[in-house]
Amino acid sequence: MTSPRSLAGPRSAPALTAPSGGLPEPVLAAEHLTKCFGDRTAVDDLNLEVARGEVFGFLGPNGAGKSTTVRMFGTLIAPTSGSALVAGVPLGPGNGVEIRRRISVMPESPGLYLRLSVTENLELFAGLYGLRHSSQRIGRALEAVNMSGRASDTCGSLSKGLRQRVALARALLNDPQVVFLDEPTAGLDPVATREVHELVDSLRQHAVTVFLTTHRLEEAERLCDRVAIFNTTLRLTGTPDELRRRLFTRALEVRTLAALPDPGKVFDGLPAVEAWSSDQPGSYILRVSEPSAAAPAVARSLVAAGADVLAIGERQHSLEDVYLRLIDDDVEVERR
Ligand SMILES: Nc1ncnc2c1ncn2[C@@H]1O[C@H](COP(=O)(O)OP(=O)(O)OP(=O)(O)O)[C@@H](O)[C@H]1O
Ligand SMILES: [Mg+2]
């Protein structure tokens, strides 16, 4: 895919700081944002801030309220209570047009007119946006999603993944400051998925803010500066590393060729090791506060004990481990 530079035009790169220190220039924010459908609360008291140029992942199980949140930010439905700032504009009945000018939403289902061609669909939406130079914009948007060769095909004749790409092209047409992508890679093959990832990367380089919902945790890990784990209420927000550290104690994994005859003698005297356990012969988990500081001392102690060391490394937790720990807790609570 080509860079969307020509679509978005270069903006200065964002200076992101640690979220705990307060984000610079929040371009997207929610304060006590709540949406109820009758008796059902889909989004409950959501508070979050997203900085300009951030790629922000919004993760949660089916029915968590992710699309409802996107639809509120996208001015498609009104919140029941609370407030929000979208592309720097307060969400409210009088500001819908101004917000929609500055953002774009790629919804879960592409919502294309199936009897119209790809170009006709994009012309229709460019017209609704009142965009000038629409044919150049359409050409560049199709190029950005590798669909130039299918421009005159009817959307009804396209596969699910190709329709998804047309929807993505539509989301690029208006040079948005904030792009909401609701599961943009659902149903895409690995090559098309990688192309979407590259597109998100280049949006980030041009300081476009991306609010991304996905069920693909490796995608969130790869693309997002920060993620929120959400299930009707916000469970946790941070960089994937911060979430790992908050939920899991840090540990070293040690493997030796043969079981240590007296592991206590090797590990107990080391100040850096808080506790240890062994799940199988020759395999040890050492709880430590700083793995890189503890590893050399552990290595020395193992060698002094005559052990044949196969590996010493920090225990790795994926974003999936973080997600499952939080969401499994929710399932447990629901079962009780
Ligand atoms: N228009 C509506 N009327 C009534 N209930 C709704 C409406 N839209 C959403 N809901 C309900 O709100 C809850 C959240 O739905 P939402 O579509 O936001 O979830 P989601 O996190 O996007 O899920 P998924 O991962 O399956 O896309 C669900 O229980 C859903 O049934
Ligand atoms: Mg959804």
329 assigned to some structural domain: no
Residue 171's φ and ψ, nearest 5 degrees, are: -70, -15
The answer to whether 227 touches 215, Cβ cutoff 8 Å, is no
Give the mutation target among 34, 37, 213 for probing the ligand 1 site: most ligand atoms within 8 A of CB: 37
User: Which residue CA neighbors atom 14 of ligand 1 most closely?
Assistant: 65
Residue 16, pLDDT score: 33
Q: Quick one: 35 and 174 in the same domain?
A: yes
Q: Quick one: 20 and 130 in the same domain?
A: yes
Among the three residues 239, 270, 303, which one is the final residue of a domain in this structure?
A: 239
Domain count for the chain: 2
- In DSSP notation, 125-136 reads HHHHHT-SSHHH
- pTM of the full structure: 0.81
Residue 99, pLDDT score: 95
Pairwise CA distance, residues 69 & 59, whole Å: 12
Percent of the chain exceeding pLDDT 70 equals 90
195 assigned to some structural domain: yes
319 assigned to some structural domain: no
228 assigned to some structural domain: yes
Residue 249, pLDDT score: 84
Residue 202, pLDDT score: 79
The answer to whether 104 touches 172, Cβ cutoff 8 Å, is yes
Strand partners, 284: 254, 278
Distance (angstroms) between ligand 2 centre and the Cα of 174 equals: 23
Tens digit of pLDDT for each residue in 94-152? 999 999 999 999 988 888 999 999 999 999 999 988 888 899 999 999 998 889 999 99
Q: Quick one: 222 and 260 in the same domain?
A: no
1-24 average pLDDT score: 42
Confidence band, pLDDT 50/70/90 cuts, at residue 336 = low
Q: Quick one: 254 and 231 in the same domain?
A: no
Distance (angstroms) between ligand 2 centre and the Cα of 326 equals: 19
Q: Quick one: 168 and 200 in the same domain?
A: yes
- Candidates 50, 14, 18; CA nearest to 31 is 50
- Candidates 220, 238, 218, 219; CA nearest to 228 is 238
Pairwise CA distance, residues 221 & 227, whole Å: 8
Tens digit of pLDDT for each residue in 166-201? 999 999 999 899 999 999 988 888 888 888 888 888
325 assigned to some structural domain: no
Q: Quick one: 148 and 25 in the same domain?
A: yes
Tokens 């100040």 map to which residue? 271
Residue 38, pLDDT score: 96
335 assigned to some structural domain: no
Stated as kind and residue range, the H or E segment containing 246 is helix 240-247
- Structural domain boundaries, residue 58: 5-239
For residue 282, what is the domain's CATH number? 3.30.70.100
For residue 153, what is the domain's CATH number? 3.40.50.300
Q: Quick one: 208 and 144 in the same domain?
A: yes
Which distant-in-sequence residues (6+ apart) come within 8 Å of 128 by Cβ? none
Distance (angstroms) between ligand 2 centre and the Cα of 67 equals: 4
Q: Quick one: 92 and 138 in the same domain?
A: yes
Pairwise CA distance, residues 158 & 162, whole Å: 6
Q: Quick one: 220 and 254 in the same domain?
A: no
Measured in residues, the chain has a length of 336
Confidence band, pLDDT 50/70/90 cuts, at residue 310 = very high
Strand partners, 36: 41
Q: Which residues line ligand 1 (CB under 6 A)?
A: 37, 40, 42, 60, 62-68, 108
